[in-house]
Amino acid sequence: MSATSDFLTRLEQLPGSYAGPTRTETSPYAVVGAGEGVLPADLFHTLIGVNLTRSGTQFVLSSADAADAARTYAELAEVAGATVRRVSTGGEAEDVDILMPGGALGAYHFAQYLAHATGHAEDAARADQLMADLASRCAPHVTENNPARDLAWSLWERVPLLLASPDGDALPQAWQHVLARVGKTLAIAVTGDPLPFVTGAFEAKHERGDGRVALILGDSDEALRIVAEILESRVDEVIHVPYPQGAEPGYAAQLSLWYFGVWVAAYLAERYGQTPTDAPVLGRAQAVLAGAETGDTLKAERDETRPRDPRDDSQDASQNEWADDAEDDDDDEDDLGIED
């Protein structure tokens, strides 16, 4: 099986594949991300909008290449009085409570773990339901009216501008991430107030709007409707990418739209003759930042489907140290809000 076919198979099987801890931790909750944990922390912001807490449970999402930052966050929370849950794709054993799969699809497992750990199991189930519906319409065997393939065609040979309303502010950077990591293509995330950007970015050289397409992600609002009107005279096309039909704005809708973005990115990579798996240089760079491995180092396989608790003696000890070759990845805050 080719790397592309394998990735698409794993992507199709992703909904409902979370098999990690489902126990609810003590509230209140706060979450902060570093390295591979930044994206899932952002996607979960609709349910937990606090970065650090002085009580309850502090979730620190990370990867081995961001261990120093994650350790600092954890120590701050512990000193403040919170119980810390360290959730990571790898690192020193004492820095990992829950071992998460790495790779481009790992954000799903991080996010679903948080949903269960914070008492939002219904939101997790709803996200899986929305994603399963998308999988049935975006899978490779769907050759007609496949929304992910159609959008990938619209993005081919263009640079997308990514915009969203404040309620979906994690989406532009989430799509920028997957279009780069999976789709091997540049996209521009327009964050903050979009009006100064869209009214000024193309004035000096109007031709810079050629080969650009604007994507309005999630729900639109009055400001985005004005932005769309302005961009219609400045870029090639403005496309609204709504939440899945019937989805209310929130965690499940955002995670499903991230998932749709991965499908689009995978088909875009295919059109460019690229593979959707991680570039080998990414693994090498992460390995350098992670430092030398020791006997106590934990490492998750790329895009495995089962998160692990390294302290659970019921698991096979051999699975507490997951090997991963950085050369072969084909298998693939400024101010902190503090809650008392």
- Mean pLDDT computed over 211-232: 95
Q: How far is CA 10 from CA 148, 160, 242, 288, 324, in A?
A: 16, 26, 24, 27, 18
238-262 confidence digits (pLDDT tens): 999 999 988 889 999 999 999 999 9
Across 108-184, where does the E strand assignment appear?
159-164
pLDDT class of 292 with cuts at 50, 70, 90: low
User: Which pLDDT belongs to residue 129?
Assistant: 97
Q: Is residue 316's pLDDT more than 80? A: no
226 and 199 Cβ atoms separated by less than 8 Å: no
- Helices 3-12 & 251-271 angle (0-180, nearest 10): 160
Cβ-proximal residues to 295 (8 Å cutoff; 6+ apart), any chain: none
Q: Which domains does the chain have, with CATH numbers?
A: 3-121+279-332 (3.40.50.10920), 145-271 (3.40.50.10490)
Model's pTM, two decimal places? 0.86
